[in-house]
Amino acid sequence: QAKALGRNTFASFQPKMEAQALYRLSLEARLRAAVQNQELELYFQPKLHTREMRLIGFEALIRWHCPEHGIVSPGEFIPIAEQSDLILDIGEWVLNEACRQLVKWRELGHDQIGMAVNLSVKQIHQPNFIDSIAALMEEYQIPDGLLELEITESMVIDNIDTTIAVLEALRQMGVKVAIDDFGTGYSSLNYLRQLPADTLKIDQSFVAALHDSPSDLEIIKTIIAVAHTLNFMVIAEGVEDLKTLNILSEVNCDEVQGYLLSRPMPAELVESFLQPAHINRLYEALNS
């Protein structure tokens, strides 16, 4: 670490920072056109109810097909979008697109499938946010409990009173609330017990090495115990292998999500993923 820092003297660091700033600027300019140019696409990743071995829904994850940079991951462009009002346009597009897909799957007969959508902090603090979600539920006729909105732990702590009011209003409308990346923020038990949320989503950093890290397992057990005491469901993200699934199921983790089930996939692939023959093969593989 010290050695790496030593190499990055101020003089050699400067041009790199400039290049990064330029990259950001060019990304931001391109991103502005992306919504209009239909360069954004939602991918979907399945979620499984652990005990019942049942598919419960999908999380929508945005992808950007940038003509200049290829596929850009949300980790790269969402933070840039969040620095301006761009995130509001993108967020609105995501919510509409996710609901449109959900309705399509419902029309194909998958009427128990839910949809989880990630939100940005700017979105939930818009004065018309609650109304816009109500309008969405109305427009797409989404039954209670099928739309879930994910906000990160750090978003909650930022502005706790407003956030609690917003989350409460959402839940009264039949929208579920999940706290994403849980364990990476700094929420105290005091915050946690006030939170109007349905689900805690354990961050994948606690899940990744679960099978050979006794301390990570203890952390996960503790999170699950606290969550269940406070009446939250628990979902683990980043589940990549059967061994991890089995451990999580042993410690009563309610739901799992990760590459083990599927990588996030475009909508066309979801339709074949949902075919009974495919689903049954998946359940068999997971039960083995």
Interface contacts to ligand C2E, rule CB under 6 A: 45, 61-62, 73-75, 78, 94, 118-120, 150, 180-181, 204, 237-240, 258-259, 264
> Applying CB under 5 A, does 181 fall inside the site for Mg ion?
yes
Torsion of CA 17, 18, 21, 23, to 10 degrees: -100
Q: State the nearest-atom distance from the C-beta of 41 to Mg ion, in Å.
A: 17
Whose Cβ is closer to ligand C2E: residue 23's or residue 259's?
259
Whose Cβ is closer to ligand C2E: residue 193's or residue 243's?
243
Among 50, 101, 118, 123, binds Mg ion (CB under 5 A): 118
> Applying CB under 5 A, does 255 fall inside the site for Mg ion?
no
Q: State the nearest-atom distance from the C-beta of 182 to Mg ion, in Å.
A: 8
- Note whether 163 and 156 are within 8 A (CB): yes
Residue 228 identity (one-letter amino acid): H
Q: What is the Cα–Cα distance from 262 to 239, expressed in whole angstroms? A: 10
Q: What is the Cα–Cα distance from 226 to 216, expressed in whole angstroms? A: 15
SS3 breakdown of the chain: % helix, strand, coil, rounded to 5? 55, 20, 25
Residue 6 identity (one-letter amino acid): G
Judged by beta carbon distances under 5 to 8 A according to partner kind, the member of Mg ion, ligand C2E, none in contact with residue 74 is ligand C2E
Whose Cβ is closer to ligand C2E: residue 6's or residue 75's?
75
Among 153, 180, 198, 255, binds Mg ion (CB under 5 A): 180
- Note whether 235 and 178 are within 8 A (CB): yes
Binding-site size, Mg ion (CB under 5 A): 4
Q: State the nearest-atom distance from the C-beta of 62 to ligand C2E, in Å.
A: 4
> Applying CB under 5 A, does 198 fall inside the site for Mg ion?
no
Q: Which two tokens stand for residue 9?
A: 């003297």
Residue 55 identity (one-letter amino acid): L
- Note whether 278 and 272 are within 8 A (CB): yes
Token pair 């399509």 is found at 104
Judged by beta carbon distances under 5 to 8 A according to partner kind, the member of Mg ion, ligand C2E, none in contact with residue 238 is ligand C2E
Give the contact letters, 69-108, x = binds to Mg ion (CB under 5 A), - = no. ----------------------------------------
Nearest Cα neighbor of 115 from 145, 75, 156 is 145
Judged by beta carbon distances under 5 to 8 A according to partner kind, the member of ligand C2E, Mg ion, none in contact with residue 259 is ligand C2E
Q: Which two tokens stand for residue 137?
A: 């539920």
